Amino acid sequence: MLKFIIPAVIFFLIVLFWEKINDAIYKKFNIRINYVVLILFLIILAVIFILLYF
């Protein structure tokens, strides 16, 4: 039961505090995390499609 609750709580907290996390990373590394997440999502999606094709 805990293996379902703990990731759900972590995901909820990330969604809840996304703006603060994004601002903290932008101030520290001067890069928008939204772009990094978008690029990672597109790469993962492309890998899935390539694996499904072959």
Distances in Å between the Cα of 17 and the Cα atoms of 9, 13, 31, 42, 51 are 12, 6, 18, 23, 34
Exposed e or buried b per residue across 2-11, where buried means at least 16 C-beta atoms within 10 angstroms of its C-beta: eeeeeeeeee
CA-closest candidate to residue 34, choices 21, 53, 48, 43: 21
Q: What angle do CA 10, 13, 16 make, to 5 degrees?
A: 150
Does the pTM surpass 0.85? The reply is: no
- pLDDT 10s digits, 21-44: 888 888 888 878 888 888 999 999
